[in-house]
Each structure stands twice: as C-alpha cells, then as structure tokens.
Amino acid sequence: MNITCISASNVEIARQHSASTRACEIIGELARLQAGPDTQVTILPLIDYELNPCRMCGKCLSTGRCVRDDAFNRVYEHMIAADAVFVVCPHYAPLPSKMMMLLEKLEEMVYLNWCKDNAYRSPLFRKPVGLVAHGGQTAEALPYYKTTLLDPLATAFGSVQMRVAPAGEGWPNGAVFGIQNLTLPEGSVFVTIEHDWDDIQQRLQPLVHNVLHLSQN
C-alpha cells in the first residue's frame, strides 16, 4: 500500500518537527501496524513546497496540471499515485494559505472538467482521504476546530470527488486534537507547546483504520 500524508504546517521555526508532521509520523506507524510493514508512507511537509495561488487561467483543462506551479504538480502527483491520502492541517486563520492554494487548484481543475463533461471523473475520484485538524488550544476548543477547520476541509475534499473517512462515532469528517499545555519562554515570541501524544494516537487510530478499509473497497 502506498500512502501520502500532507503536513500543512508552515511554521519556519518548527519545520520538520511540527505537530502536523509528528501526527503524520504517527499515522504512518499506525498504517504499518494495520496494513503491514511494507506499507509505503510519504510525508509531504507543505513548508518545503512553494505553492502559488490559482490565477484561474484555465490552462489546466488541457494539461491536467498547473502550468505555473511545479510545487503543486509534485504534491498532486503524490496524491494521484497514492492508494490513500491523509491531510493534517493546523488552525491558522483558520486555514493555512498553502492548504488553500492546494484546494483552490484541485477544485478549479475538477470544475473546469465537469463543465466540459458532467460525467468527468478526477484522478482522485473516490480515493479515500483521512483529515486531521488541530490547533494551539486545549480540549475545550475541539468543537471549534471541528466546525471551522475540519468540516470545511471535508467539504472541499469531497468536492474534488475524494471519499472523506470518519474517525469514529461523532466524527464523520475526521479527527481533531488540541494541546496539553503551553508556556512562553523568556525572550521568545513563540510559545512552547506540549501535546499528549498517547491521546492523539488514540484519536488517530480509528481514522487510519477507516481510511485503510475504504482503500480496499
């Protein structure tokens, strides 16, 4: 099995050690436990990809790719090649700008093709996607993350013909998690954030199970 996990964090100071990327690593560990050690997991940290906004030039209708954004095309190729996709997205304002750039291009490509042919099927048609939303507040903020981050992501990925996997009872659109505690070190503009990774793994486990199940059906 080939899995692509997109980490939407774009925090320079965190880079490869962001909570989003750590969640992707846990997803990979769970996937190998459930689907076997030969499962291939590719983590794509969007901070390493300089995506550009969509200009709606329409050229993707004939090329099937963005003519102005090689970074997007590389992410898109990974998504197409994968048996399943996971997206781990932090709360910014509320969605990170690179996540929006990725989604607007995916949606424009599907929309233009659908206008031409209502029976159009995207290369991502019915590909399962597991969505994870998280932010810098404790458990009381989880309903907010669901409403403002997870649910819009589910609508967007559903609109590009992907199958959004549930994460258990009460979580039809994926999983969410918050933080355990934060402190502000003296002289720093950035807080130090603590996560309960055991709890997060328990939240992610049913999502991984459901995505793998969908990939086989």
The rounded distance, in Å, linking the Cα atoms of 192 and 105 is 34
Q: Are 154 and 173 in contact (CB under 8 A)?
A: yes
User: Average pLDDT, stretch 62-67?
Assistant: 96
**For 123-134, what is the mean pLDDT?**
98
- Which domains occur in the chain, in start order? 2-215 (3.40.50.360)
pLDDT score at 116: 96
Decide: pTM greater than 0.75: yes
Task: Note the pLDDT tens digit of each residue in 168-178.
Answer: 999 999 999 99
Contacts of residue 213, defined as CB under 8 A and 6 or more positions apart, other chains included, come to none
* Residue 26 tokens, joined: 């846990």
pLDDT at 15 over 80: no
> Residue 207: which pLDDT band, with cuts at 50, 70 and 90?
very high
